[in-house]
Structure 1
Amino acid sequence: MALTLYLHPLSSYCHKALIALYENATPFAPHVVNLGDPDSAAAFKAIWPMGKFPVLADADRIIPESTAIIEYLAARHPGPVDLIPAGIALDVRMLDRFYDLHVHTHMQKIIGDRIRPADGKDPYGVEQARAALDTALGIAEAQMASRHWAAGDAFTMADCAAAPPLFYIDMVVAPLAPRYPRLAAYLGRLKERPSYARALAEAEPYLQFVPR
């Protein structure tokens, strides 16, 4: 039975999983979830009650969360591109968590606040997120002084994690180039990578809906 990925093309965490699938040309069936449609949302929550995507289904096995999905693919459906190379596996996993927790989370806080109602906005939380994001981007900028990809010379799970938040930060939070030129150049390489270029092409019709 083919793998099924429950996703939305605009979701940054879905991009992370898609990059991994496309890197290895892993066969899968995409299932687009529309959380604004009660029937689509209910059907998805019957599979994963938390209602968060991406979720990978492999027969009767359900794997939520992008990092777990990539780990599962590496273990159960490996391909020619080893996204968690044994020699640098710890570094790759640390960077994966760094980009998820210290870049991705704060990016989502800043952008997500823009769609809150006027009486529900969180300016203090956004200010904190911006400060934490600046610190994280400064760390990543320094790391990229001697690296082509996030963990060194090899494209890994860490790059799957880095690409989506850097893309959305550059697009709608603040351009990277003025303050983080190495990260801007790195993002350019990520966008040229065929796996991410494909995910972005699929997201293109939806990018107009990203809050500015």
Structure 2
Amino acid sequence: MNPGPSLELFGHPFSSYTWKVLIALYAYEVPFTFRMVGADHPENVEVVQTAGPQGKFPVLRDGENLLFETTSILEYLDRHHIGAGTLIPEDPDAATAIRMLDRVFDNYVMNVMQVVVDEHIRSPAAPDLARCAEARGRLERSYAWLEGWLQFYPAMDQVTLIECAAAPSLFYADWVHPIPEELPRLRQWRARLLALPPVARCVDEARPYRSYFPLGAPDRD
């Protein structure tokens, strides 16, 4: 559990996937250096561009180890810097269940929400409305599934891989397509997640960048 002085996270405070890693680092007080990725920090951009095939952040550097893809980063942190079994259970079947939900939040919430965001970035005046409507419909289907799943998931303050994935995806997805009132479990869980200290810290650190959100950031969060 010795993080060493060389742990660095390359990302941006407004990035949902950067949050996914930051939540774990903050929750378990893992010492690290944050490396902002942006035009003012070309040296950090270069690290990200050379780390993976698509040059996407976040990227974690630990000495000579350079890791990309958030789930892989969190698995590495769990094993080497937080305490094996904290974010992901050591029991293989339980770990499989948690990884499955991690993919639900990344692939069926976060990435679906991003379709609408990308359309408004691509053409602010004329986004593809059919494509946006299709993505919103997919979000509704994911929301409904999660409402049912929450019957069996205990509300807790411990941060696992599920909370790391769920908090940023639901935070931004609700901006794009608000969670309907007829899904009270999901609405309440989103609020509970945002109240967790490591998540609240990410929300606050991202506030200066809300103007970047192409749909207009609501004032309610």
- Interval containing the TM-score (normalised by the shorter chain): 0.7 to 0.9
Gaps of 5+ in 1: none
Bigger mean CA deviation after superposition, 79-88 or 48-57: 79-88
The equivalent of 2:218 in structure 1 is: none
Percent of residue pairs identical: 38
The equivalent of 1:181 in structure 2 is: 184
- Indicate how the Cα distance of structure 1 residues 78 and 153 shifts in structure 2: closer, same or farther if over 3 A, else same: closer
Structure 2 residue 117 is the aligned partner of structure 1 residue 111: yes
Distance (Å, rounded) in 2 between the aligned partners of 1:207 and 1:22 = 21
Larger helix proportion, structure 1 or 2?
1
- Indicate how the Cα distance of structure 1 residues 197 and 57 shifts in structure 2: closer, same or farther if over 3 A, else same: same
Distance (Å, rounded) in 1 between the aligned partners of 2:120 and 2:42 = 23
AA at the equivalent of 2:8: T
TM-score (norm 2): 0.84
| Partners of 1:24 and 1:81 within 8 A in 2 | no
Gaps of 5+ in 2: 216-221
Kindly provide the CA deviation profile for residues 102-157 of structure 1, in whole angstroms up to 9, marking residues without a partner as x: 111101111221111269843333222222211111100111134334xx785310
Residues matched between the structures, number: 209
The equivalent of 1:15 in structure 2 is: 19
Structure 2 residue 82 is the aligned partner of structure 1 residue 78: yes
Shift of 1:95: 0.5
TM-score (norm 1): 0.88
| Partners of 1:2 and 1:27 within 8 A in 2 | no
- Indicate how the Cα distance of structure 1 residues 80 and 44 shifts in structure 2: closer, same or farther if over 3 A, else same: closer
Bigger mean CA deviation after superposition, 43-52 or 68-77: 43-52
| Partners of 1:23 and 1:81 within 8 A in 2 | no
Shift of 1:54: 0.6
| Partners of 1:148 and 1:186 within 8 A in 2 | no
SS of aligned partner of 1:145: coil
The equivalent of 1:52 in structure 2 is: 56
- Indicate how the Cα distance of structure 1 residues 84 and 126 shifts in structure 2: closer, same or farther if over 3 A, else same: same
AA at the equivalent of 1:199: C
| Partners of 2:8 and 2:61 within 8 A in 1 | yes
- Indicate how the Cα distance of structure 1 residues 148 and 132 shifts in structure 2: closer, same or farther if over 3 A, else same: same
Kindly provide the CA deviation profile for residues 83-113 of structure 1, in whole angstroms up to 9, marking residues without a partner as x: 1123422211110011111111101111221
AA at the equivalent of 1:25: E
SS of aligned partner of 2:9: strand
